[in-house]
Amino acid sequence: MQRLVAALLTALLAGCGPATAASGGPPPGSGRPGSFGPAPQWSLPVGVRQLTVDPTGPRPLPVTIWYPSAGPVPAVGPVPVAGAPVAAGRFPVVVYSHGLRSLPELHAPLTTRWAAAGFVVVAPTYPRTNLRATDFTRADVRHQPADGWRLIRHLVRLDARRDDPLAGHLAVDRIAAAGHSAGGFTTAGMFTAGHSARLRAGIVIAGGGLAGSFAGPPAPLLFVHGSADPIVPESAGRAAYARATGPAAFLSLPGQGHGDFLSPGHPGFTQVLATTTDFLRWTLYDDRAALHRLPADAHGPPVTTLTSRLPR
């Protein structure tokens, strides 16, 4: 299954595909740090690093970052290399939010593949809802959208610095938010009245809306939900989809629960990976071919069904 997913990702990126696509060719753009070009046409190697936002403040925010790196492409799936040099070019950013009693690394099967597709994925460990929180409380979810925005402001400052490896590599005007379960609610909560135009798109996985969600400038949204989810009913996701004021799509996984489809080898993972990657390429790279490809990649009855208000 790992080889199938790796082949799928390469096929997603290849399009008309040069013969050197799997050999670790040049990154997107002109190959210079700070340049921004079209979406990559091949799978990129992935690096990983950690940092902490506001380490001495009242809510320190540890962050895991997966990013396109320089080096050979692994033969089977993206294998992150700690501290690997960043690939040349400038890459869109995805802020990924975990669910209750979870951690960023538990979502690596999805987030590393997004990084291999040409995105910098930044995943905060929320202080009071993560797996290791000593003062766990689900009520803290309402504070997490502000944490997400605090992280975005940190990234804007980091990109302008000269002494950080990611400086000049972050397309901080091309950001998406995504998350699973409570992280999906967190994602929805970032799309409120007056939100910055830096935030261009959102992916809500097994989640719904918070108070004030979807009141800001319309942005494309993708909802992913299992129809038999016992934790967050699919009706909550459908209600959030109905409230979205901009282009939106709803990928349903009939008979599935709260998130098995996020793991390679489980039914639906292939479709979820393809659909979310298409969505990110369209919204953050302006890749119209990915938008046109998305309905076919999402189509996988009886495993998946798609409801869409996306442009054609």
Asked, for residue 9, whether it belongs to a domain, the answer is no
Q: What is the mean pLDDT of residues 267-273?
A: 98
- pLDDT, residue 185, reads 98
- pLDDT, residue 33, reads 54
Mean pLDDT of all residues in the chain?
90
Q: What is the mean pLDDT of residues 129-153?
A: 97
Asked, for residue 37, whether it belongs to a domain, the answer is no
Asked, for residue 33, whether it belongs to a domain, the answer is no
State the total domains in the chain. 1
Q: What is the mean pLDDT of residues 217-243?
A: 97
DSSP one-letter string for 71-96: SPPPSSS---EETPPBPSS-EEEEEE
Does residue 114 have a pLDDT over 50?
A: yes
Give CA–CA dist 22/24, Å, rounded.
6
* Phi, psi dihedral angles at 57 (to 5 degrees): -85, -175
Asked, for residue 95, whether it belongs to a domain, the answer is yes
Supply the angle between the helices 269-285 and 2-14 in degrees, to the nearest 10: 30
Residue 54: pLDDT band with limits 50, 70, 90: very high
Q: What is the mean pLDDT of residues 122-149?
A: 98
Asked, for residue 31, whether it belongs to a domain, the answer is no
Does residue 16 have a pLDDT over 70?
A: no
- pLDDT, residue 23, reads 34
Tens of pLDDT, residues 142-176: 999 999 999 999 999 999 998 999 999 999 999 99
Domain region containing 189: 44-308
Q: What is the mean pLDDT of residues 252-276?
A: 97
Both structure tokens of 297: 């990649």
Does residue 283 have a pLDDT over 60?
A: yes
Amino acid 47 reads G
Tens of pLDDT, residues 69-83: 997 777 667 889 999
Asked, for residue 27, whether it belongs to a domain, the answer is no
Domain of residue 198, CATH code: 3.40.50.1820
Distances (CA, A) of 9 to 78, 133, 201, 280, 302: 10, 34, 21, 13, 22
- pLDDT, residue 75, reads 67
